Amino acid sequence: MNINYGSHRLVVGAHYGMRDWLAQRVTAVLMALFTVLVLAQLIFSKGPIGYELWSGIFAAQWMKSITFLVIVSMLYHVWVGMRNIFQDYAKPYAVRFVLHVFAIAWLVACTGWAIQVLWRL
Amino acid sequence: MSESAANTSKKRPEFRNIEFSNLRTLRWPLASLASGMHRVSGAIMFFLMPFIIWMFDNSISSEISFLKFKNAFNVGMLGLPGFIWKLVALGLIWASLHHFIAGMRHLWMDTHHHHVSKDFGRQTAAVVLMLTLGLTAVLGAKLFGLY
């Protein structure tokens, strides 16, 4: 991987191919497990599903920490996915660049909001 | 280079990356439909992310905001009637179900290369599409109060 010249040189930038491919799968598994965890607490609850039950799920500190982890995982997962879409369909590089900047701004702003909601509970 | 060699090299078909304008004219076998819908569902959730976080915020912050959350779907919000917001929620239900189930299929294929074949791809894609649409119909019926 250290050959930086000739026909074996690395031509894909910051060698993010394998890293991001794997990160997208790891974050997917984390989010899937979290989804099962939340759904299980809803399904195996007794009585009507109202505010008490729903907010109670996120009340424990360990649940807050896990939710924080999942929010950050989502940020990275969605970035890789949207970048893939833009790389495939957004052809003039100027357009692609603008879309990449938009995606990052959109995701960072959304992530900040989600974390704010979580930590003020 | 002789002239005939130049001619044959000219006729060679070129396969480039898919462009947006190709999407309509492509054939869509089940496996590619499941894959394409995985992209579409992901993009939908990306663009509706502020609405998703709005729902998280209002459903969880207080009793009062929880009522605001419920009223958006039962009464309406931002000048739009409740059923429009229910339709948006239904779209999100479909998107998350499809993304989740098709994602499971992708993870399975990533970790079980020896299972992957054309038939496997077509059959599992059919399962993904049917499961997704079935669950969306069941949850959608609940959302619109049919049972």
pLDDT score for A16: 62
Cβ pair A43, A34 in contact under 8 A: no
A21 in reach of chain B (CB within 8 A): no
Q: Is the CB of residue B107 less than 8 Å away from at least one CB of chain A?
A: yes
State pLDDT tens for residues A44-103. 888 788 898 999 999 999 999 999 999 999 999 999 999 999 988 888 889 999 999 999
**DSSP assignment letter at B21:** G
Residue A69 Cα, gap to closest chain B Cα (Å): 16
**In this complex, is the C-beta atom of A55 within 8 Å of any C-beta atom belonging to chain B?**
yes
pLDDT for A91: 81
Confidence check: pLDDT of A1 > 60: no
Q: Which residues of chain B have pLDDT under 50?
A: 1
**Residue B1: per-residue pLDDT:** 46
Nearest CA in chain A to B103: A28
Q: Please classify residue B141 by burial: count the beta carbons closer than 10 Å to its beta carbon, then call 0-12 exposed, 13-18 middle and 19+ buried.
A: exposed
Lowest mean pLDDT among A18-22, A113-117, B89-93: A18-22
Domain ranges of chain B: 28-143
Which residues are registered as beta bridge partners of B80? B77
ipTM of the assembly? 0.84
Angstroms from B43 CA to nearest CA on chain A: 7
Q: Which among A11, A61, A54 has a CA at the least distance from the CA of B60?
A: A54
CA distance A29 to B132: 19
Task: For residue B59, give the nearest of A25, A54, A106 by CB distance.
Answer: A54
- Residue A66, both tokens: 């896990």
Find the CB nearest A110 among B43, B53, B60.
B53
Domains in chain A: ranges and CATH: 16-119 (1.20.1300.10)
- For B28-143, CATH number out of 1.20.1300.10, 1.10.600.10, 3.30.710.10, 3.40.190.80 equals 1.20.1300.10
CB–CB of B136/B75 below 8 Å? no
